[in-house]
Structure 1
Amino acid sequence: MARLTRTEPMTGPSDSHDSTRRRFLAAGGLLAGTAGLAGCISGTGSKPTATETTDDEPADGQTADGETTEAVAAESPGAAAWPQFGHDASNAGYARSASGPGADAALAWRFDAKTPTMNASPVVADGTVYAPGSGDPGYVHAIDAETGESVWRFEPAGYASCAPAVADGRVYFGTWSKKFYALDAATGEQVWASDVGHRFGSSSPAVSDGTVYVGTVGDGPMVVSGEEDEEKFESCAVLALDAESGDERWRYDDFGEKENVGSSIAVADGRVYFGGESAVYALDADSGSVAWSREVATHPQSSPAVVDGTVYYGGPSDAEDGPPARLYALDAKSGETVWTAGIDDTSLRTSPAVADGTVYVAASSTRACLLSGGGVATTETDDGGNGTDAARTEDGDSDCSGTNRGRLYALDAASGERRWTAEFRTDTRSSPAVADGTVYAGNGDGLSAVTTDGENLWRIGFEGKRDDGPYLDSSPAVAGGRVFVGASDGRLRAIGTK
């Protein structure tokens, strides 16, 4: 039964945190809307700044030397907004008019959601940050963007695990209870709840022209990726719901073989775009009829971004040789390939951001490890670099370890030509956000800022050592001079200006 609680302050640091990295793997390897990519060492060779941390990560709000910084003021967010995953219905990940904290960044506040993780990406509208806590209890929180104080929290029937969307004074989100909700954004009161007959754990909604679009995973068990006898989800669908009433306008589930809609929905120019397990689809936004579908050898791992008539998405390469991961650009009208670009990593699960003629995407490398108890596991790795992350059995045994590295790539949006690459110490499993000439990204090293020219600005480390501290799967949201991001320790952080 849904339950609303108002004005319960939950800010400030706690004495301890759950340092376990809770890696939630949905079918197809993507929990869309849980994103933020990170790193610390720029590929341009720029010098680390004073806010960069070492192997012994400082506590939140501390520099690498352990000097404590107080909570800082920032410009009032006001009407500044990042209202959906990827900023808007097109999933572009770019806020053209937003401002971030700039070069002089510091922790502004930290909100403890009292939940195992907070990996879903936050959204921001009208001076309020909205974010679900992932796990039990599965509250959806409304937090004052300036102070970090709780405005209200809502407990749905079944927790929400993906980014919500805010439009016209309402907050929209789905849960694992087959319910999809609309709440009053100011009060947290339930406006409507629709029983849609599917779980909503793998898609963040997109809202456009009075319609809420969302992809679902069904009632079957979760996929065990890489196993020949893997079980598929059943009865997946993409739905269009009336934003005012919650009534279903159309439903598309004619996928042939059982399909998983593992990406968030993008809406642009009257069409709905998404990735399934075996294809990329474009549907008519009004009717749900298929405009085109593009079969791929392996499932698209990222949510699409649609900008200037082009659909950008990433995933494993469909070629037998060459780079293991690729970024694809398709014509939004026809589905024909515009270009593909090889990525020097094996995993491209993050969603691209597109800004001013450049595509930004994060990727990581993976290698297999033999476990002492038998079997094979994978860990995000790359040759060289700092830090390790060994694959382990349930009792902690492992006979291999590997270095963790991730990369941020900048490519020409028209040609796919690579412009620059920034290298990070840990793997990147979430998506970049672009605003005010800066790309923001986060992972196990904390939150990083890189200029759109590839120059490293800063990195703010979160409390704990790099190997056991909170991990950022959440995509950053940029609004009102601040960057907001969730982490695996159940906390939401705001980075502002000193």
Structure 2
Amino acid sequence: MKLPRTITVLSGAALSVVMLVTPVGAQPSRTVGASTTYQINARHDGSLVDTAVGAPPLSRKWSRDLGGNVSYPIVAGGRVFATAASPDGHGTVLHAIDAATGEDAWEPVGLGGSYWWSALAYGGGRLYAQNDDGVLTAFDPATGAKAWTVTLPGQYSFTSPPTFAAGVVYTGGAGSGGTVYAVDASTGAVLWTQPVENGDNSSPAVTADGVYVSYACEQTYAFAPKSGEPVWRHRTECSGGGGRTPVVADGGVWVRDDAGMTPSVLDAADGRLRGTYEADGWSPAPAFDGRQGYFVDEGVLRERHSRTLETRWTFEGDGRISTAPIVVNGYVYVGSQSGRLWALNGATGQSVWSTDVGAPIEEPDEHNVSEPLTGLGAGGGLVVVPATHLLVAYGQ
């Protein structure tokens, strides 16, 4: 006899309903998730379903000192990928680590660059690395062999992490105005470009309906993923350099600004203002699990309903919470500049586990190119934490 179970999963680019049929007395097959870009997925909503992780408490599986400040990790295909600031000068180094052992899966690769910034994305069986000069390279994640390299045209300053979706790598560049790029993931050919104000620090959030980017003063754009045609634009009365990665969740585009504007929620379909919420413009990206939103502001984690924007619980920790939160199987993970990592019950805010990672867990710097953009990751049974020079993996 078999009993069906229906699981609704809010993850990636769409809502999916999965029917699992499990023999009585047998264990169900596990869902193994992946972190494929900044803030877990193409929506940047920080949410992951990975039953291989299990419920906290977790134990340390391995720790690596990569010799320089470490980026957010890509966790996929039995590997953990991250970049680190080069200890020998400008530029960054790409590291591929066996997720099970913590040992190098292949030799580290220098990515070059004028500064210490680089960022990663994964999809279509390839790993994509971009440096601050706009050199975008596709690697075989199993061997480290290069599939193609392209220097993105028309700009000279690149601080927007790439995003993979449906066979395309999306990214942005700045220098002379700004540009959003769509690159064929199989060949490296540039499929389309669009001008924006001003192309900095905004990893494209991508769904089947839109490519969303947001820059200084909440100048926010939506483009059609295949053609690049403008869908809508949210205009304000100012502009400037800088930007923040938007988050797409519950039909809204959640945007932040370090120029003093109140963080806003825009309707993903037409760009109209749906609401605002109290937070510092320098606050990291929020994470979402359905209509539960998790926001870090001034060192404190707050849970808000995504429609009413009402704060329902807060968690102060040590008052130095620094990371963008992520949500794995309903547990919220955040880290502190003191080096503390917490797992909280997403419904109640109760801390269920914490540990000392061994080094400060710095906040994501979405304004400079002095180091790779950092952030938490998870997948393949692991929660992975960049902590200054360290990359630390936890699991069961």
1:493 pairs, out of 377, 392, 396, with 392
2:337 pairs, out of 444, 466, 475, with 444
Matches within 5 A, 1:246-285: 246-255=188-197, 259-278=198-217, 279-285=219-225
Cα deviation per residue 1:392-441 (whole Å; 9 max; x = unaligned)? xxxxxxxxxxxxxx011111112212121111335444311101121111
Question: What is the Cα deviation at residue 88 of structure 1?
Answer: 1.7
User: What residue number does 2:378 align with?
Assistant: 478
C-alpha spacing 1:200/1:448, structure 2 compared with 1 (3 Å): farther
Cα deviation per residue 1:105-133 (whole Å; 9 max; x = unaligned)? 2322101212x211x10011111001111
**Which shows bigger deviation, 421-430 or 355-364?**
421-430
1:330 pairs, out of 266, 270, 294, with 266
Specify the code of the residue in structure 2 equivalent to 1:337. Answer: L
Cα deviation per residue 1:269-328 (whole Å; 9 max; x = unaligned)? 331101112301111212222211112467786411112421122335867xxxxxx442
| Cα distance in structure 2, aligned partners of 1:417 and 1:186 | 45
More strand by share: 2
TM-score computed with the length of structure 2 as normaliser: 0.80
SS at the partner of 2:312? Answer: strand
| Cα distance in structure 2, aligned partners of 1:162 and 1:178 | 9
User: What residue number does 1:117 align with?
Assistant: 69
| Cα distance in structure 2, aligned partners of 1:204 and 1:418 | 30
Specify the code of the residue in structure 1 equivalent to 2:69. Answer: T
C-alpha spacing 1:492/1:318, structure 2 compared with 1 (3 Å): closer
1:183 pairs, out of 120, 139, 148, with 139
Asked whether the equivalents of residues 472 and 487 of structure 1 are also in contact (C-alpha less than 8 Å), the reply is no
User: What residue number does 1:422 align with?
Assistant: 315
Asked whether the equivalents of residues 238 and 261 of structure 1 are also in contact (C-alpha less than 8 Å), the reply is no
1:155 pairs, out of 110, 121, 132, with 110
User: What residue number does 2:275 align with?
Assistant: 339
Specify the code of the residue in structure 1 equivalent to 2:301. Answer: L
Specify the code of the residue in structure 2 equivalent to 1:411. Answer: R
| Cα distance in structure 2, aligned partners of 1:451 and 1:163 | 30
Asked whether the equivalents of residues 261 and 274 of structure 1 are also in contact (C-alpha less than 8 Å), the reply is no
| Cα distance in structure 2, aligned partners of 1:310 and 1:461 | 35
C-alpha spacing 1:491/1:317, structure 2 compared with 1 (3 Å): closer
User: What residue number does 1:223 align with?
Assistant: none
1:462 pairs, out of 353, 357, 360, with 357
| Cα distance in structure 1, aligned partners of 2:110 and 2:291 | 41
Question: What is the Cα deviation at residue 80 of structure 1?
Answer: 3.4
Asked whether the equivalents of residues 32 and 51 of structure 2 are also in contact (C-alpha less than 8 Å), the reply is no
Question: What is the Cα deviation at residue 458 of structure 1?
Answer: 2.3
Question: What is the Cα deviation at residue 201 of structure 1?
Answer: 4.2
Asked whether the equivalents of residues 31 and 51 of structure 2 are also in contact (C-alpha less than 8 Å), the reply is no
User: What residue number does 2:289 align with?
Assistant: 355
Matches within 5 A, 1:103-252: 103-114=56-67, 116-118=68-70, 120-136=71-87, 138-152=92-106, 153-158=108-113, 161-197=117-153, 198-199=155-156, 201-218=158-175, 234-252=176-194
Query: How many matched pairs?
Result: 347
TM-score computed with the length of structure 1 as normaliser: 0.65
Q: Does 1:305 align with 2:247?
A: yes
| Cα distance in structure 2, aligned partners of 1:331 and 1:353 | 17
C-alpha spacing 1:314/1:178, structure 2 compared with 1 (3 Å): closer
C-alpha spacing 1:242/1:478, structure 2 compared with 1 (3 Å): same
C-alpha spacing 1:316/1:122, structure 2 compared with 1 (3 Å): same
Matches within 5 A, 1:406-417: 406-417=299-310
Q: How much identity, in percent, do the aligned residues show?
A: 28
Larger Rg belongs to:
1
Question: What is the Cα deviation at residue 349 of structure 1?
Answer: 3.1
Which stretches in structure 1 are left out of the alignment for 5+ residues?
1-76, 219-233, 320-325, 365-405
| Cα distance in structure 2, aligned partners of 1:418 and 1:334 | 26
Asked whether the equivalents of residues 426 and 444 of structure 1 are also in contact (C-alpha less than 8 Å), the reply is no
Cα deviation per residue 1:64-106 (whole Å; 9 max; x = unaligned)? xxxxxxxxxxxxx995311222222111110134453533223
Specify the code of the residue in structure 2 equivalent to 1:248. Answer: V
Which stretches in structure 2 are left out of the alignment for 5+ residues?
1-29, 365-373
Matches within 5 A, 1:90-105: 90-100=43-53, 102-105=55-58
Question: What is the Cα deviation at residue 480 of structure 1?
Answer: 3.0
1:434 pairs, out of 313, 323, 327, with 327
CA RMSD of aligned residues (A): 2.5
Cα deviation per residue 1:439-464 (whole Å; 9 max; x = unaligned)? 11113122221110211122212336
